[in-house]
Structure 1
Amino acid sequence: MTALLIGNVGVIADERRMSDYRAKVLHTLELYGGGFMIRGGAFEALEGAWRPTHLSVMRFPTAAAARRWYHSPEYRAIVPLREGTHMDLILLEGEIEDGGD
């Protein structure tokens, strides 16, 4: 089953360090079969109270691969670059719908 990670970056503590994190994170995703589907861009909250500020959607072949990435030494090595920055990260697992009936 495909897994998606939905991430929201909130208040950034150190813009320079966060820029370094952003430059390095894609490589760590790719090592575990992942990548960005959407990185940033316009969005609109249609319902609810959640007011994200910067959204990204990452895709992995499985939830296990996403978890391996999240706990990997490669990713853990760059996490300190975003220290003090608010981050939400949600793992969603399921079948990708093709829209056909």
Structure 2
Amino acid sequence: MSAYVISEVDDVRDPAGFEVYRTIAAKTIAQYGGQYLIRGGAADLIEGGPPPKTIIVVEFPTLERLREWYASPEYAEALKVRQTAFDRRLIFVDGVLPV
């Protein structure tokens, strides 16, 4: 069953670092079988709040594979850059089981 990473990027402090992060992250996501479904498109707030920031959604084949990616030495390089480049909320979501 697919699993998803939902990232809400907030407060980019270092645009150059953000680009370095994106490059490394994209390579590692592909390496671990992930694919981008949403990568920063326009988001409209319909209900609730606060207003959405930049939203990224990545699909992985399984939650286990997603967790392997996040804990991988390859992605650790991106995480080092992220710490000083930008803030975000990161959510892991297991896919829906068939009914």
- Tell whether the structures are fold-level matches, with TM greater than 0.5: yes
- 2:79 counterpart letter in structure 1: V
In angstroms, what is the RMSD of aligned CA positions? Answer: 1.5
Q: Deviation of residue 60 (structure 1)?
A: 0.3
- 1:6 counterpart letter in structure 2: I
1:95 maps to 96
Identity %: 35
The answer for unaligned runs of 5 or more in structure 2 is none
Name the structure where strand makes up a greater proportion of residues.
2
1:10-89 aligned at under 5 Å gives the runs 10-84=10-84, 85-89=86-90
SS state at 1:11 partner: strand
State the TM-score, normalizing by the size of structure 1: 0.87
| Inter-partner Cα distance in structure 2 for 1:87 and 1:12 | 9
Task: Tell whether the 8 Å contact from 2:21 to 2:82 is kept in structure 1 after alignment.
Answer: yes
| Inter-partner Cα distance in structure 2 for 1:40 and 1:15 | 15
Task: Tell whether the 8 Å contact from 2:6 to 2:92 is kept in structure 1 after alignment.
Answer: yes
Q: Deviation of residue 66 (structure 1)?
A: 0.6
Q: Deviation of residue 96 (structure 1)?
A: 7.3
State the TM-score, normalizing by the size of structure 2: 0.89
Task: Tell whether the 8 Å contact from 2:40 to 2:54 is kept in structure 1 after alignment.
Answer: yes
The answer for unaligned runs of 5 or more in structure 1 is none
| Inter-partner Cα distance in structure 2 for 1:32 and 1:95 | 21
